[in-house]
A and B are shown apart, each in its own frame.
Chain A
Amino acid sequence: MSLIRDNASVLASAIAEGEVSSEEVTRAHLDRIAAVDERVHAFLHVDSDGAIAAAKRVDAKRAAGEKLGPLAGVPLALKDVLAMKGQPTTAGSKILEGWIPPYDAAVVERLRAADIIILGKTNMDEFAMGSSTEHSAYGPTHNPWDLDRIPGGSGGGSAAALAAFEAPLAIGTDTGGSIRQPAAVTATVGVKPTYGAVPRYGLIALASSLDQVGPCARNVLDTALLHAAIAGHDARDSTSINAPVPDVVAAALNADVRGMKVGLVRELSGAGYQAGVQQRFDEAVAILTELGAEVIEVSCPHFEYALAAYYLILPSECSSNLARFDGMRYGLRVGDDGSRSVEEVMALTREAGFGPEVKRRIMIGTYALSSGYYDAYYGQAQKVRTLITRDFTEAFEKVDVLISPTAPTTAFKIGEKVDDPVAMYLNDIATIPVNLAGNCAMSLPIGLAPEDGLPVGLQIMAPPMGDDRLYRAGAAVEAALVDRWGHLLIEEAPAL
């Protein structure tokens, strides 16, 4: 076996069987990080001591005959937007440089309870604002498929860590596509669960009504196992759903789409989508049909307004969510030399601590919420949101899942779009509607675009609390492709 290339479920059973120790697996990954991360820059912070100590505890538990969970002892890369007690947590921003959280996010508590080994914190666009990880205050992450290209964003660090075999599991967060688009451009799997399925307590908020924590891995089953470990109600998040979590692991093991009705969203393909992306998507549709699914075309007429509505709602919420970074209680403080007023210190701190994309969105949001403009911008955007939700509801009356390409293009070059915000925003055109409606969605690899040899992702969408449908359909497509290729697509990534 290969300690760094094997899937999480394989590693977990090897650890459980005593074929290998969690410490050995963890050290192998720490060595891999040491060998390649200088080039990939997936991690902002590696907690070697903490990871090894946690691995030793798992090994001791096993030695003592304690029952271990399905992912016990397996390493994981954690997006740096989740609070982790005693470890730096920056959200990719200078304004939080040096802040050490005194508490664990709910998801971190669950990872620890599941004996999953947290290797460290992964790079991201500052406060999760971006689609390329270029907006990180700590420098971009490089796509392991082509180091000159972006790994997607905002969770580019988590996706790159998986694709570079630095970790077999990762946690991401998805506000408009930050799990799915990085998964698509790195040939990994990522799921944005139903809004409220995974508690947000401890997640540094970008846009509270859109943010969702989710699992990332290199195959569908591992993703499902991680999903099961983190999902479920938590009383500290009042938007957390208090209902049983759909059995996503059983769904991933039941890779059968016979009789499943699949809707192809007319508005999310065709014009604006790269030819090779469209080609692989069409092939995936054919595979689903061959597997026995009934694929029909459905229309979601209001999706064309999704991007515009999103870029009013998100900045509005983030302008308020990010107000607390004022230099008073934690993180950066600038200009506190005794000569300046508290307002001046707050302003200087925010001026120095936030990057340009963060400032842009705070200004847009502040404007959109201003008296006299609220109805025209924020209010109108919320109405569009309602219409998009209605489009989904009507579509799901006809079909079980919806599909589209995850992103309109494959990974672009670092620097190519960083000065053109709108071009950057368009990367999320297919992923944003799901967040606006609170639905769930998965991205999984379906091949390489012929023109550039870069990965393409398929997006599968399901209604709220229909997360299991994603895994059933995703596992079926994955199995068919592995049959065809003899391996997962990620195995074709160039050696680092």
Chain B
Amino acid sequence: MKTVPFDEALTRYEPVIGLEVHVELGTQSKMFCSCSTNFGAAPNTQVCPVCLALPGAMPVANRAAIESIIRIGLALNCSIAEWCRMARKNYFYPDMPKDYQISQYDEPICTDGYLDVTVDGKVIRVEIERVHMEEDTGKLTHSGGATGRIHGADYSVVDYNRAGIPLVEIVTKTVVGTGALAPAVARTYVAELRDLMRALGVSDVKMEEGSLRCDANLSLNRPGDPWGTRTETKNVNSLRSVERAVRFEIERQAAVLDDGGRVHQETRHFQEGDGTTAPGRSKEQAEDYRYFPEPDLVPIAPSREWVEKLRLTLPELPSVRRARLAEAWAIGEFEMATLVNAGILDIVEETVAAGVAPDAARKWWSGEFTRAASERGVEPADLPVTSADIARVEELIASGALNDKLARQVFEAVLAGEGSPDEVVAARGLAVVSDDGPLLEAIDAALAEQPDVAEKIRSGKLQAAGAIVGAVMKTTRGQADAGRVRELLLERLGVEG
């Protein structure tokens, strides 16, 4: 596929982006029935007459889902409709049991909001057109065939566990004037939304499990010209992919336009492997979804009192919180982004609240525990170690009872289920040797083994002391306080420290 280098493309064209993000809500039950929404259950075990669309079954809206979408709308500064209806979107597809999706059409529950994102120190306001409620489809798996799609497959199987899970669609207005920042704006917007959903507690927003999905719309136009024809790129399953997909479409569409060609209005699929986009199945004619108000459901008419009550439950916005914590912990934007991307901001904050110094809390969580979590394939916060454990270990370090190396051993044991830090210290005998007697013995032995080093130190080359201290630490299996060993060594040799 022909492309134009990104920077060059931007010398001739202005990108216009638009993003549609689907968020699966983390409600206990589905949107229109009481089936569980747990991820990963055996296929077709979380189904009932309603979500299988058996003849006669009827939907009933999930109040918790309506509550969640109103909170999302409020957090995105939207107006909340006083009265709106669900609508049927009609089309035949085997992953959709009713052959229509219950969604919203011209009466979305939330409209006209915005979300500010910061890219390269610049605040960009992304305007939100609408936030509406709908239900997810089942999941098709195609076997055989080259494309992994339904056409050409030998057979396909469908799992309706996902059918009817509440889905919120957040649609931006077109975002113009971002120029070369367009890919980063797209990525940052999705990241910001993800953090917002997490802060609201409405979804686990795991892109890899599909609980947050993004479609990226992009068009190019020459400066001063009307907007160009847009493409919609689907299958964008990570933050990195959002950025790459927008970037690639800029490079591809620029090449098409440079050649005097026309960009086709189409759906494209992002290819994780090479970072390109490929056209989806072209539709012979435009889909006509024949939307009409869902007659099986009563209108949604949230009272103003309810909306205001929900407004009071809004958490601090992620951007505000990040700024507050960065200041309190004296860290920069980059360090903060590292914590956010690793998904450990909450747990670090909790650890600091337990009395641990911010630097230490960050160090343990982004180092030791992130590594342990990735080895075990769990989230850091789900490790069997508590903020209280970390606070206790830090206390032991501060009192000199543990050093850094021993502390790591303590945590290894805690993670292995050997008990609390105090229990591990007692059981393994992990304590800094604080009795000078054994230390002096070890120092004398080391000096006897390395007389040349002893001579150097005596002659004032203090940096040579490290070799003796190292040897002592080795013989005491790390349980000595290196500072104390150095003091004793210099004393022994009659040298001023």
Contact = CB atoms under 8 A, between A and B. Distances in A.
Interface of A: 82-83, 89, 91, 96, 99, 101-103, 105, 200-205, 207-209, 235-239, 316-317, 319-320, 323-326, 328-330, 341-343, 346, 366, 369-371, 374, 378
Given A320-B90, A323-B98, A323-B100, A371 B55 contact: no
A204 B94 CA distance: 20
Given A323-B98, A323-B99, A342-B94, A238 B57 contact: no
Contacts of B100: 320, 323
Interface residues of B, number: 31
A286 B291 CA distance: 49
A202 B57 contact: yes
20 contacts: A83-B55, A89-B55, A103-B54, A201-B56, A201-B57, A202-B57, A209-B295, A238-B61, A238-B298, A239-B297, A323-B90, A324-B53, A326-B94, A330-B54, A341-B151, A369-B290, A369-B292, A370-B290, A374-B292, A378-B292
B495 interface: no
Given A238-B60, A320-B88, A323-B92, A205 B296 contact: yes
Interface in B34-73: 49, 52-61
Interface of B is mostly: loop
Given A101-B56, A208-B296, A329-B97, A343 B92 contact: yes
Interface of B: 49, 52-61, 88, 90, 92, 94, 97-100, 150-151, 156, 158, 288, 290-292, 295-298
A238 B151 contact: no
Nearest to A95: B55
B53 A200 contact: no
A204 B55 contact: yes
A99 B55 contact: yes
Contacts of B97: 324, 329
Contact of A366 (B49, B53, B290, B297): B290
Nearest to B53: A324
Contacts of B55: 83, 89, 91, 96, 99, 101, 204, 324-325, 330
A82 B56 CA distance: 7
Nearest to B158: A328
B464 to A, nearest CB: 79
A85 to B, nearest CB: 11
Contact of B58 (A89, A236, A329, A330): A236
A249 B370 CA distance: 71
Given A323-B92, A325-B55, 10 more contacts: A103-B54, A208-B295, A238-B61, A239-B296, A239-B298, A320-B90, A323-B100, A329-B53, A369-B290, A378-B292
A203 B97 CA distance: 17
B475 to A, nearest CB: 73
A341 B298 CA distance: 37
Contacts of B297: 238-239
A82 B58 CA distance: 13
Contacts of B59: 238
Contacts of A236: 58, 60
Contacts of B88: 320
B99 A370 contact: no
A202 B56 contact: yes
Contacts of A202: 56-57
A395 B158 CA distance: 53
Contacts of A91: 55
A457 to B, nearest CB: 28
A203 B56 contact: yes
A290 to B, nearest CB: 43
Nearest to B297: A238
Contact of A105 (B56, B158, B296): B56
B240 to A, nearest CB: 34
Contacts of B56: 82-83, 89, 101, 105, 201-205
A247 to B, nearest CB: 26
Interchain residue pairs A-B with the least CB separation, the first 10 = A323-B99, A208-B295, A369-B290, A209-B295, A202-B56, A83-B56, A204-B55, A324-B53, A238-B60, A208-B296
A324 B52 CA distance: 10
Given A83-B54, A91-B55, A316 B94 contact: no
A203 B56 CA distance: 4
A371 B295 contact: no
A204 B158 CA distance: 24
A101 B290 contact: no
Contacts of B61: 238
Nearest to A210: B295
Nearest to B287: A371
A89 B57 CA distance: 13
Nearest to B298: A238
B92 A102 contact: no
Contacts of A366: 290
Contact of A103 (B49, B99, B158): B49
Given A103-B49, A324-B98, A370-B288, A238 B295 contact: no
Contacts of B94: 326, 328, 342
A392 B483 CA distance: 95
A326 B92 contact: yes
B41 to A, nearest CB: 19
Contacts of B99: 323-324, 326
A450 B152 CA distance: 68
Nearest to B93: A342
B59 to A, nearest CB: 7
A171 to B, nearest CB: 13
Contacts of A239: 295-298
A322 to B, nearest CB: 9
Contacts of A324: 53, 55, 97-99
Nearest to B50: A236
B61 to A, nearest CB: 7
A326 B90 CA distance: 13
A236 B296 CA distance: 11
Contacts of A209: 295
B156 A342 contact: yes
Contacts of A102: 49, 54
A330 B49 CA distance: 12
Contacts of B92: 323, 326, 343, 346
A202 B151 CA distance: 35
Most buried by A among B59, B88, B90, B295: B295
A82 B57 CA distance: 10
B298 A320 contact: no
Contact of A201 (B58, B150, B291, B298): B58
Contacts of A323: 90, 92, 98-100
A61 to B, nearest CB: 29
A238 B296 contact: yes
A91 B100 CA distance: 21
A419 B90 CA distance: 30
Most buried by A among B52, B54, B59: B54
Contacts of A207: 295
A325 B49 CA distance: 14
